[in-house]
Amino acid sequence: MHPFSFTKVSDTREALDAGRDGGRYIAGGTTLVDLMRETVERPGTLVDISALPMREVTVTRRGGLRIGALVSMAEAAAHKAVRALYPVISEALELSASAQLRNMATIGGNIMQRTRCTYFRDVSADCNKREPGSGCAAREGVNRTHAILGTSEDCVATHPSDLAVALAALEADVHLLGPAGERTVPFADFLLRPGSTPNREQALRPGELITAVEVPAHPRPLKSGYLKVRDRQSYEFALTSAAVALHISRGVIREAKVAAGGVGTVPWKLPAVERQLIGKRPSNALWAQAAEHAADGARPLQHNRFKVELLERTVERQLRIVGGGK
């Protein structure tokens, strides 16, 4: 591990001052400390923001949900309002990591976590994300777990967060605070596709902090859930996953929110699947027909062609679980 200095701040002004001077924010530290040990990350200064007042979960006036950036994954997953309004968020969190990690890791840190591409974590391998311009060892290497959607010539790594898939499906916003003040970014614009700059992963400006994520109110009743397919049932990242939320009224699907994980360089929203569902009556035939569009535009690599069919089946199954049907 490279030497670094450490400072703990007690209010947002102090945090922003430290951030402006090039400090890296840290809260749970469950990603950053690992990467520092492996010398993938080498921050000169860590700024501990864990004492900042961002630990509340609140139902907004319009009936949406605001989750403070420093709420732990475990607290958010267990919160009554989260479970009642958006089970898809609780389920995505509960299927993530381990109990120990969920107690430490925060909501802000979860959406900031970095890829699990093994070449990214191996400092002897070529990796454009870690070392811009060095190449991508995964393209011709072992790429079974890599992305089939949103890839570029320069990077094919998946985004690892399950929560981010649920937030993408629900069209959440990210609240930010920086030297220039507060701003809100739609979640769809917050995480960046790799393009020619895979080292740039979020639409954050220098010194900005995530203060909260906010899920808008959706028409109720809203049934939702998260399905994760992985090599083992615990403490493993998704090969494929599906976040689904459906508003069904008088037997007709009025609203459909669907996103996939484990397959995209960012959480992958599925508008073509959503369009197939709106205005139709739930049925097994409809789920199958809609899920045929889940992998539209996929560009599989040598070892991950299986993800195309697995994604379609994952989406179909989760539509059936959430929406019922016959």
Q: Which residues bind ligand SF4 (CB under 6 A)?
A: 115, 117, 119-120, 127-129, 136-138, 155-157, 198
CB of 190 to ligand SF4, least distance (A): 19
Of 295, 254, 298, 245, which Cα lies nearest the Cα of 277?
A: 254
Q: Is the dihedral of CA 238, 265, 132, 202 positive or negative?
A: negative
CB of 60 to ligand SF4, least distance (A): 36
Q: Who contacts 224 (Cβ-Cβ below 8 Å, separation ≥6)?
A: 86, 87, 88, 169, 170, 243, 244, 245, 246, 257, 322
| Interior angle at CA 223, CA 219 and CA 224, nearest 5 | 110
H-state helical runs in the chain: 12-20, 32-37, 73-78, 80-85, 87-94, 99-104, 107-112, 137-140, 163-169, 187-190, 271-277, 284-291, 306-323
- Residue placing its CB nearer to ligand SF4 in the complex, 79 or 114: 114
- Residue placing its CB nearer to ligand SF4 in the complex, 129 or 247: 129
- Residue placing its CB nearer to ligand SF4 in the complex, 132 or 271: 132
- Residue placing its CB nearer to ligand SF4 in the complex, 143 or 276: 143
d(CA 122, CA 250): 54
- Residue placing its CB nearer to ligand SF4 in the complex, 82 or 117: 117
User: Cβ of 180: how many Cβ atoms within 10 Å?
Assistant: 11
CB of 156 to ligand SF4, least distance (A): 4
Residues 177 and 209: beta-carbon distance below 8 Å: yes
CB of 117 to ligand SF4, least distance (A): 3
CB of 164 to ligand SF4, least distance (A): 17
- Residue placing its CB nearer to ligand SF4 in the complex, 96 or 145: 145
- Residue placing its CB nearer to ligand SF4 in the complex, 93 or 127: 127
DSSP per position, 152-186? -SS--PPP--SHHHHHHHTT-EEEEEETTEEEEEE
CB of 197 to ligand SF4, least distance (A): 11
Q: Who contacts 34 (Cβ-Cβ below 8 Å, separation ≥6)?
A: none
CB of 266 to ligand SF4, least distance (A): 13
- Residue placing its CB nearer to ligand SF4 in the complex, 267 or 282: 267
d(CA 32, CA 46): 10
CB of 232 to ligand SF4, least distance (A): 22
